Amino acid sequence: MTEHAALPDWLTGDGRKRSRDWTTGDSRRQSAVAGTLLGLSRLVRDSVFSEKIAARPGLLQGLDPRIKLVGMLSLLVTVSLLRNWYLIVPLYGLTLVMAAASRISLKLYIRRVWLFVPIFAAIIVFPSLFNIVRPGDPLWVIWDFGHQVTLGPWSLGTTLAITSQGVKGAILLILRVVTSVSLGVLLALTTRWADLLKSLRVFYIPRVFVLVLSMTYRYIFLLLAMAEDIFTARTSRMVGPSSPREDRRFIASSMGTLLGKSHAFSEEVYGAMVSRGYNGEPVISHSFQARPADWFWLASVALAIALVIGGDRLLG
């Protein structure tokens, strides 16, 4: 990825492997300090990457962010309302089409969506496939004990089986999670963060909240840079591995330092805002303008929603 070029390489994955070898003696275990640095760098990389995609021309990038937000949220609500998994499939297909039309590499998009949350969902839902966890009609009997099996106070029944209800529930949950995450990722990838936050005004969210949200987003990166500095300074002075006890103390003190710094910093920011004429009533300027194409997109989304909801009611 070209995004790596913008970041020093000790911040990216390759650097971590090297630092891991000497920050702890144990190479199997990633040191907490290195792990934190990796997390910080991944976050910066992801957001730089999102902004790059949001700046490209494409279907979703071209939409009025307010209309896009309303449409995407309606799709999210629809996904959570459907009771039949095979009606979620076309909605997932729709996200793929929208991703392709927005010139997002499908390989990257699918990897980003599937990498963590759905796999986690699959692990969570796995035990519910079995009749001993959630009773149901056996679909595939794995083991017939031939007699009532009890484990301490629990009665496990006479067979161990995967139930059809369990499979249905698992497919439904995973599809729901995947499609919801996809919609969220699409919204975040194709909208510049400042526009996304400003478009929240559609829902009459008070201006002060929108201001706080955008200030927070900015200061996250400043605090991340401060945290990186603290961690790098420490790592660069270290000779040999440190014990987990030392790591723990160090991380807690750097949190404390960061807390003190940010508190003092907020006073300075407040002073800076007042000196520029801030009086507690923020002004939020935007130049959003809904065009016929935006309404056309929203109408198509509404049609898709009406179709799947209608289908869901018909199927019961």
Partner 1 sequence: MHIPDGYLSPQTAGGLWAMMIPVWYTAGYKVRKTLSARQAPLVAIAAAFSFVIMMFNLPLPGGTTGHAVGGTIIAIIIGPWAAVIAISVSLTIQALFFGDGGILALGANCFNIGFVLPVTGYYTYRLLSRGAADGSPRRWFAAGTGAYLGLNLAALITAVEFGLQGDLFKAADGSALYSPYGLSTAIPAMMIPHLAVAGVIEAVATSLIYVFLQRNNPSLLHSYDGIKAAATGRIQLKPLLIGMALLLVCVPLGLLATGSAWGEWGADEIQADVGYVPAGMDRYSGLWTGILPDYAFPAAEEADTGEEPAGAVSLEGVRESAPAYIISGVVGLALVSGIAWFSARLLTRRARKKEQLD
Residues 189-208, interacting with partner 1 (CB under 8 A): 193, 196-197, 206, 208
DSSP character string of 174-206: HHHHHHHHHHHHHHHHHS-HHHHHHHGGGGT--
CB of 151 to partner 1, least distance (A): 15
Of residues 132, 213, 238, 302, which one binds partner 1 by CB under 8 A?
213
CB of 52 to partner 1, least distance (A): 14
Residues in Cβ contact with 174 at an 8 Å cutoff, skipping those fewer than 6 apart: 118, 121, 122, 125
CB of 213 to partner 1, least distance (A): 6
What separation in angstroms does the CA of 105 have from each of 100, 101, 102, 189, 305?
7, 10, 9, 12, 26
Contacts to partner 1 from residues 267-296, by CB under 8 A: 267, 269-270, 273-274, 278-280, 282
Of residues 4, 17, 18, 29, which one binds partner 1 by CB under 8 A?
29
Of residues 20, 45, 176, 198, which one binds partner 1 by CB under 8 A?
176
Q: Which residue has the tokens 């909240």?
A: 209
Cα 190 from Cα 112, distance rounded (Å): 14
- Residue 66 contacts residue 297 (beta carbons within 8 Å): no
185 in contact with partner 1 (CB under 8 A): yes
Q: Which amino acid is at 101?
A: A
> Phi and psi for 240 in degrees, rounded to 5?
80, 175
Contacts to partner 1 from residues 96-135, by CB under 8 A: 117, 120-121, 124-125, 128, 133-135
Of residues 203, 256, 284, 306, which one binds partner 1 by CB under 8 A?
256
Cα 249 from Cα 54, distance rounded (Å): 40
Of residues 19, 20, 23, 50, which one binds partner 1 by CB under 8 A?
50
Of residues 238, 251, 302, 304, which one binds partner 1 by CB under 8 A?
251
Report angle CA 93, 194, 55 to the nearest 5 degrees.
55
300 in contact with partner 1 (CB under 8 A): no
Task: Please choose, out of 7-15, 37-45, 101-109, 287-295, the segment that lies near partner 1 by the rule CB under 8 A.
Answer: 37-45
Identify which of residues 128 and 158 has a Cβ nearer to partner 1 in the complex.
128
